Structure 1
Amino acid sequence: MIRAAIVGLGWWGKTLVESLEAGSSEMRFVAGATRTVTQDVQDFARAHGFALRASYEELLADPSVDAVVLATPHSTHAGQILAAAKAVKHVFCEKPLALSRADAEAAVTAAQRAGVTLALGYNRRLHPAMTDLRDRIESGSLGTIMHLEGTMCFPNALALKATQWRAHRNETPCGGLTPMGVHTIDALIDLFGEVDEVYCMSFRRAVQIDADDTTSILFRMKAGMSAYLGTMTATAGNYRIQVYGSQGWIRINGMTHIAGASSEERRSRLFGECTFQPIKGPAQTWQAEAYDVSRAVLEAFARAAQGGPPFVIPPGQMIHGAAVTEAIVRSAASGKAEKVL
């Protein structure tokens, strides 16, 4: 049993805690810390049976804490991971791991040298619908893969205040890239390997804060296929991933994390109708199962931390994902296609 501390008790940190509230044989939350301690935060901690500590440093010094779960601003991740590794604590980090390859490499290296598990919160990778898609691609049933297309949208940026960290360009460059789009980038890396080159256009159309809300990205994979990702942060929620092969296409529809949605919906209702259309014959359509991906990814982390199977995302893929994010931001600034370094 991994005794974990939650770091950051905004709406997503609370969602992670709630994913284990029914009880888990792998992990439980025993402590927490957050920048702003409100009455609501105090009530939440009390209801979920863990103690609030005054600082992250206090959590790291606590021998009763085996691991930290980071639900904190992106720019703080690398430094927090380095500190946890120094304290010999396992780390589950919400995505993205870092905003640069250098920071991601430093975090991964620190964890490896300390002998602790580092896990990353790309929870959609664990959903059975993604396992089915991966199996179809690997079996060759889709034929030669030509292209992947993804769209992720939510209206959340319409309600953001300029004082919130997610409203700052240095934390959320290219609009929906870091809150949503990196999930599709992780799927690209998982399904097809490394990204060679990216081209990004990103701008603001509707939101009142100084942030982009409309972002389009083209990818060329080293394996030869192409991909497209679109994110919008000021429209109705939507998730779609579609893979095109020479024997047909498969599409998975679903939902993103909408502000105000229930915790159960945010965790278990991310995938919906799935369709396979072969080049000949009728389409096959089915409904993805309700599956708590937040619980699944935390328990996968806990098993790895206890000496079980390695975490599902290899360290090299964590670093490459950060390098792709960095190249996308660079392309949006340069207006040119950029190699992933």
Structure 2
Amino acid sequence: MVGLGHWAKVLADAAGKSDRLKIVNCFSRSEKNREAFSRQYGCRAAKSYAELLSDPEIEGIVVTTPNDAHAQPILEAAEKGKHVYVDKPIAHTMADARLIDRACSDAGVVLAVGHSARRLQGNRKIKEILGQGGLGKLVMAECNFSNNHSLELAPDQWRWYKDKSPGGPLIQLAVHHTDTLNYLFGPAKRVTAMAKRLYTPAEIEDVTMTLIEMESGQLCYAGSNWASQGTFYTYVYGIDANLYFTVDLDFWQRVDAVDQHSRLEMQRRGSSEHQPIPLSQGDILREELEEFAGCVRQKKRPEVGGPEGIASLAVIHAAIRSAATGRTVEINEVMSGEA
């Protein structure tokens, strides 16, 4: 593992619940952090990233560095033939995202991107119901992922800065939903967005609203702010029924319990009643990491690889560009540019 902050420990805990994964080495530029991680998870602590990559026992690297520091460790890992799992988003710029995808493809290594929200049992059930035509003709979807974390940001944190965390809550939170919308409805076509800096002391905007037209014709709304109390929901509307999926964010990082504290309800045509739909219990991070391990051993492609990571990031950068220019932005414009 490289980059040993809070999320690295969350992923390490998830890996520790599986008999298909073993953490054997770690690296951080901070000697204190890598020694502490080594003691906690019973692995070696490399003194340099080069030393980590030269470890013959390592098959894959888990990258949890800040978003703007994803590219270099991934490029070096690919060059050494190491497979890569990187936490979402794939990168902070489209240019870095394309570079990462190309490097892993050219090296023939697996690239898995940690868009875990699509694996929530509520989203899986929505996908199943849509596939069965359970809502009739689709009308629209709306989703929101917000919390108040920007109110606590300080200049010594990378999320404070626009160049490191472009779009603020867009790239940190809404990117979960842009991946899920792509998963549910197919690729996006064009984006119209607004973003404002209202309450955060940081450089980044903290309140955003994004309208997305999908290539399939559906219209979707993605809200995301970094100032309010937390919320996470996905609502899908059809001619015959609506679906309402909400997650209790108190359990967002309790990945083995979050599905138990989620709610999916259906409202059928002609009724105001919201009928609950049972959800099974999953473990989104363990499942994601196990899929990565399986892809490495079986030479398969992960559900969310480079192209999917790029597609979700493109919606975010289209929203950033739209908010900055006041115009609707085509996804193709962002995919072919250097944002």
Instruction: Tell me if TM exceeds 0.5.
Output: yes
Q: Which residue of 2 aligns with 1:327?
A: 318
Which of 116, 119, 124 is 1:123 aligned to? 116
Q: Distance in 1 between matches of 2:41 and 2:82?
A: 22
Which of 3, 9, 12 is 1:8 aligned to? 3
User: Aligned-pair RMSD on alpha carbons?
Assistant: 2.0
Which of 262, 271, 283 is 1:272 aligned to? 262
Q: Which residue of 2 aligns with 1:19?
A: 14
1:96 has 2:86 as partner: no
Change (3 A) 1:117 1:292: same
Look up the equivalent residue of 1:31 and give its one-letter code.
N
Aligned counterparts, 1:177-188, within 5 A = 177-188=170-181
1:305 has 2:296 as partner: yes
Q: Distance in 1 between matches of 2:150 and 2:255?
A: 17
**Partner secondary structure for residue 319 of structure 2:** helix
Q: Distance in 2 between matches of 1:298 and 1:145?
A: 33
Detail structure 1 runs of 4+ shifted over 6 Å in the superposition: none
Which of 284, 299, 303 is 2:275 aligned to? 284
Per the TM alignment, residue 297 of structure 1 is displaced from its structure 2 partner at its CA by 0.7
Q: Distance in 2 between matches of 1:244 and 1:216?
A: 19
% of aligned pairs identical? 29
Change (3 A) 1:262 1:110: closer
Which of 70, 73, 79 is 1:80 aligned to? 73
Q: Distance in 1 between matches of 2:49 and 2:141?
A: 40
Change (3 A) 1:230 1:126: same
Change (3 A) 1:161 1:35: farther
**Partner secondary structure for residue 300 of structure 1:** helix
Q: Distance in 2 between matches of 1:161 and 1:315?
A: 32
Per the TM alignment, residue 212 of structure 1 is displaced from its structure 2 partner at its CA by 1.5
Aligned counterparts, 1:1-341, within 5 A = 6-22=1-17, 24-38=18-32, 42-256=35-249, 265=254, 268-269=257-258, 272-281=262-271, 282-286=273-277, 288-307=279-298, 309-341=300-332
TM-score normalised by the chain length of structure 1 = 0.90
Look up the equivalent residue of 1:280 and give its one-letter code.
G
Change (3 A) 1:42 1:288: farther
**Partner secondary structure for residue 62 of structure 2:** strand
TM-score normalised by the chain length of structure 2 = 0.91
Does the 8 Å CA contact 1:175/1:202 hold for their aligned counterparts?
no
Deviations 1:28-86 (A, max 9, x none): 11111123343x65333212101221232221122121111011111222232221111
Q: Distance in 2 between matches of 1:168 and 1:248?
A: 42
Deviations 1:118-166 (A, max 9, x none): 0000112222222111011111111111211011111222222111112
Change (3 A) 1:262 1:329: closer
**Partner secondary structure for residue 287 of structure 2:** helix
Q: Distance in 1 between matches of 2:10 and 2:47?
A: 21
Q: Distance in 2 between matches of 1:207 and 1:102?
A: 28
Q: Distance in 2 between matches of 1:289 and 1:206?
A: 38
Change (3 A) 1:151 1:262: closer
Look up the equivalent residue of 2:10 and give its one-letter code.
T
Q: Which residue of 1 aligns with 2:336?
A: none
Q: Distance in 2 between matches of 1:121 and 1:97?
A: 8
**Partner secondary structure for residue 170 of structure 1:** coil
Moved more, 303-312 or 79-88: 303-312
Look up the equivalent residue of 1:60 and give its one-letter code.
L
Look up the equivalent residue of 2:26 and give its one-letter code.
G
